[in-house]
Amino acid sequence: MTEISDILFKKLESEFILNRDQLAPIVNGFLNEFQIGLKTPSKGLATMIPSFVTQLPTGNETGTFMSLDLGGTNLRITAVQLLGDGHVKVLEVKHSPTKELKTGPGELFFDWIADAVEELITVKARHLFQPDQVSGKETLALGVCWSFPVDQTEVNRGTILRMGKGFTLQNTEGRDLATMFHEAFERKGLNVKVSAILNDTVGTLVAHAYTNPRSRIGLIFATGVNAAYPEKVENIIKLDQQVRDKYPAGTEMLLNTEIDIFGNEDYLPLTSYDITMDKSHNQPKFQLYEKMMSGAYLGELTRLIAMDFIKNDALFKGQIPEGFDEPWSFPTMYMSALERDVTSTRQVSLEKILGKYHFEQQPSLEDIAILTRICRIVSTRSALLCSCAIAALIEQQGLVTKSNADIIVGMNGSTYEFYPFMEERLHRALRQWFGVEISDRIRLEITSDGGSVGGALIAMLCC
């Protein structure tokens, strides 16, 4: 390691490897925003969004239900068979929207979804439905897991808010989500009714509760980040008093925090790289916390840091590989590959991973080691920042002091599940915050198919 890269790494680590004192303002900032969000009506950029789900499954429910799960990358329409005893079986139709669909007219997009719903009912899972349901004589209920902010007014009604994740659908913001679905189903002659709308975090929490009824947090750590938890209805001041009065005292309602939107320059330790990346994004100043730590952004942050190293002659002999200066050209997947790599196979992965860039001079093993170390620093900060969300949600619910029971977190998402060492890093970060004794009680458990199973469960619980 040269002297210059040593200096650059020292600076980088001092900015990125946050200690407990540096995490405290973030956790406190989140706790403060929880309180503000509980009071502020959900308009525009809403947080702390009520789901109107006040019941968690017991694990004994049975039957076949249909759900739809839309995220940044995939649309999944699923027939979920609840088998009881916490077991499920899923059969799905999966498609990815093109850029044109994501940025075009809303109606076209919803028509595309309706086609996928039809494919599930009439082809893929035909045998799981009654003949009258397949023919359209009988209405089929659909639980919709929408991984974007929605201002929910009822369990099956909600206004579409600003979407993010590359979606800029025309004529959708401000419209009722269920109505947009129903119009498309009508255009396509489908007898399907949206019986529940939920955020993916709410879906994850509900799905996890099917296998572990003691779950208290549903957390998505994927392309985006977000979390849901049960809050006492009496604390959700933003709900009208008459609405709150309808629920028996002590009732808890699942809240979609939209923690992704939390944070501002005052308490997030934004670096020059975060600021540069945010400026180059098509939605600047939106989701600042998420941009520091979720899968959609880690690769670009790494690229920006690597560019700094190159400019200082500390990487690739000071030569920018052709194409490497292209913003967003270095996906988070490359970081995973570099970090997963072991020395003996480095040369192979180097060609595979960096093959898309043109190098005047082939990078050395030292170059790869430097790039990998940058990846490690960026992803370690991501784990540290994720731990702040978990810590704030645990504190908000008083879970540490209430009892000595384990604290169950249903986790879902590619960054958590597939990024190498992320799980260990997150555990280490929680240990740094809570100490060994308490952090040992925190169980981060993977929820498979959170969105679709949660969607089906809520559709069932609400019918």
Residues that bind ligand GLC in the complex, under the rule CB under 6 A: 71, 147-149, 164, 199-201, 220, 222, 224-226, 258, 260, 290
- How do beta strands 140-146 and 62-70 pair? parallel
Q: DSSP string of 109-177? A: HHHHHHHHHHHIIIIITGGGS-HHHHHTSSPEEEEEEE-S-EEEEETTEEEE---BTTB--BT-TTSBH
Nearer to ligand GLC, 112 or 286 (CB): 286
Min CB(204)–ligand GLC separation in Å: 9
Min CB(146)–ligand GLC separation in Å: 8
For 111, other C-beta atoms within 10 Å of its C-beta total 16
In three-state secondary structure terms, 394 is helix
CA distance 265 to 276: 14
The separation between the first and the last C-alpha atoms of the chain, rounded to the nearest angstrom, is 63
Nearer to ligand GLC, 75 or 192 (CB): 75
Min CB(106)–ligand GLC separation in Å: 18
Nearer to ligand GLC, 153 or 319 (CB): 153
CA distance 427 to 420: 13
Q: What are the residues facing 141 on neighbouring strands?
A: 193
Nearer to ligand GLC, 43 or 402 (CB): 43
Min CB(117)–ligand GLC separation in Å: 21
Give residue 343's identity as a one-letter amino acid code.
T
- Closest residue to ligand GLC, judged by C-beta, is 224
Calculate the CA 82 to chain-centre distance.
24
Min CB(447)–ligand GLC separation in Å: 13
No. of helices (H) and no. of strands (E), the chain: 19, 13
CA distance 56 to 68: 19
Nearer to ligand GLC, 164 or 263 (CB): 164
Nearer to ligand GLC, 316 or 416 (CB): 416
Nearer to ligand GLC, 29 or 451 (CB): 451
Give residue 307's identity as a one-letter amino acid code.
M
Min CB(210)–ligand GLC separation in Å: 19
Nearer to ligand GLC, 218 or 321 (CB): 218
Min CB(245)–ligand GLC separation in Å: 29
CA distance 105 to 172: 8
What the block records as the tokens of 223 is: 């392309």
Min CB(397)–ligand GLC separation in Å: 19
Give residue 130's identity as a one-letter amino acid code.
Q
Min CB(258)–ligand GLC separation in Å: 6
- Between the alpha carbon of residue 52 and those of residues 2, 61, 158, 232, 284, the distances in Å are 58, 20, 11, 12, 31
Q: Which of 149, 131, 152, 151 is nearest to 140 (CA)?
A: 131
CA distance 154 to 52: 6
Min CB(55)–ligand GLC separation in Å: 21
Nearer to ligand GLC, 26 or 315 (CB): 26
Nearer to ligand GLC, 124 or 165 (CB): 165
Min CB(181)–ligand GLC separation in Å: 17
What the block records as the tokens of 206 is: 């509900």
Q: Buried b vs exposed e over 378-399: b needs ≥16 C-beta within 10 Å?
A: bbbbbbbbbbbbbbbbbbbbeb
Q: Are the beta carbons of 321 and 359 closer than 8 angstroms?
A: yes
Residue with token string 């916490």: 86
Nearer to ligand GLC, 224 or 410 (CB): 224
Nearer to ligand GLC, 66 or 225 (CB): 225
